Every structure is written in structure tokens, then in C-alpha cells.
Structure 1
């Protein structure tokens, strides 16, 4: 094992903190990288409560997704997603229904900085929570500084536009620090609060 650390994030929706996410990242000697993620959100309205949770694992090697397993619960609506790399593509199962997608998908956990050759390209995206196939064009915005644990940290910002509207910031370890997206008219912000090594 080469590297193992976890990242803690807070999640805000429309400017109000609503939940947390953790990512456990492992890189092995053979080049295999694993991300185990867990997220929870809750909304309490006067006459309505909404709960969301998601837990999953991604295994990558040489920039390609090898395996994915995820379970998500959208206020009682449940999704079980499995994916495994085949020779030419990716086999997917969503709640027992099989489908296929491109081998070089980028999963919408976005935990790892994209490879330079993908900038300016239209990417095949795979949403782990519901198993949806999406697409979007990736652009590199440039260098910025973000606060982390009372220090300023260098970050590289990217944008994806298409089926998704997402801005992403990565640190010098090429790992996700911040994500801003617009979903169903709501602004979602994921911010790194702590790295535990």
C-alpha cells in the first residue's frame, strides 16, 4: 500500500449547510486506486422532511474505472448500482436492469483531477447514485487559492457544461477540494474541511 487518507466535506444547499460527505482514498503498489464515499443530507421543512444518503466504492487503474458499487436512498426511493469494466465497454446494472456505456466514463463523484488530454473534450459521465449516463464538455479555468484548515491552498479549477453544470477544484495532490453544481434549480456546494492521513 502506497497511500491512504480520508477527506471530510460539508455539503450546503442554497447556502445552508445540510450534510456531510467522507471519502477514503487508497492507492496500492500495483497502481490501483480505491475511493470509498459516504454522504448524507437532511432537510426539515414545516410539513415535510427529506433525507438522502449514498454509500459506494470505486476501483480505478490507469485512469479507467474497473468496478463500482453504490447504494443511494432519495427519501425512500432506493437505487442499487453496480458497474464492471469489460474489454470494450462498461457493464452496468441499476436495480437489476442491465445496460452498457463507454469504457472511459468519468464518475460524477469527481474525486480525482481529470487527465490533461480530456480538457476541451466532451466526456461520457456516469452518475453513481442513480446509474444515469450523462455527458458534458470539460474546460480548465485556471489556478485559484482555497482555504483549508486555516491555510490557503493552491487549487486548479475546472468546469463541466452539458447535462450537468459543475465547477470543480483540485489540490496539488490531484484530489477534489470543492464542487459547486446546480441541480433541479438548487445550488449545491461541497467543501473540503479536513484531510486525515
Structure 2
């Protein structure tokens, strides 16, 4: 298994949000996180990415094998589409950016500065970065934000190809991508407030 989470507890702003969370994900598998806004999907992904420590539990993940895509697209506005992708490719020891350009229909925009792209075009470029990292584990936070239906289909196809090549994907999304994936509902893992855990009666407040 490439990703194993055991009895994980996480917090946002010092307040526990999820606890007792366990799952495993292996090559060729995708897992979609579901739950209402504020339940802790982003916090969970940030914890898996190593951007914040867990309260408890264990995450078995070689983060050198992981590519994390958050809400920000991580682009240099003054660099062109090609220059942005080439920068990330060189950073990860790769050179060929042609497949990433083609996968997200970016060839017509190749020489345009990232700062001149629409929100959807920026998102496509941000997601294309995943393909030039060469990393097998994709951790994605609402990856389809700002994408139209055609671009969502491009992304879904990129994920399918990634999985077919032995990669794995963990995504927080409300969109049905038409990808064979397990779904993990986070509501059952919502952290119990300390007052309720201690039997405290809020009626006395």
C-alpha cells in the first residue's frame, strides 16, 4: 500500500474536527472524500500533505511521492503557460511537458502569460502541473473548481490515465467524475466536542 491512515485525529485552529479515521489506498485506486462544508476535508488533506501535524494516529506516506493540489493554482503570473509547466517539470527532474499541454488543451495558450488566463484556464494549468511532477500519489482539494464541463472531462481522463499507470488519487470533491472510486463519508468521524465527551450539560451556560 502507498497510503495508509490509522486512527487519525486532526484539528483546525486547535479545535478537533475529525477523529478515529482509518483507510488504505493502493496503486490504481482512487478515494473520494465526502462531507458537508466545514467537516474537515481540507484540514485532512493538509495533514496528509505534511502541512500540519495530526493530533493523533499515523500516516504512512512517502511525501516525496506525493503531489498536492490545493485551492491555489501555484502559478507565476508573468511566466507563460509553457514556462510554468517547464519550471515544475525541471524541478521534478522531467523535461517533456507535451502530454500535459495536450491533456488539458493548453497548446493554443502555450505562449500566453499565466496572469492573462481566465479562472478556468488557470485551473487547467494548475492541474496540468500534476502530470509533470512524475509523482504517483495525487492529493487533490476540490480540483474541479472553476472548470466547465469540458474541462472536468479532461481532468477525469487525466485521473483515469494516472490510475491506469499505477498511480493513486485522493480527492475531496462534490462532482461525480465518472471515475471508479471508493467514497469515504467523513460525517461518522466528526470529533466529539470535549464538553459532550465529559458529559457536560450546556444548559448551565
TM-score by length of 2: 0.28
- Choose between structure 1 and 2 for higher RCO, CA contacts under 8 A separated by at least 6 residues: 2
- Answer 1 or 2: which has greater helix percent: 2
Question: Scaled by the length of structure 1, what TM-score is found?
Answer: 0.29
The structure with the greater share of residues assigned to strand is 1
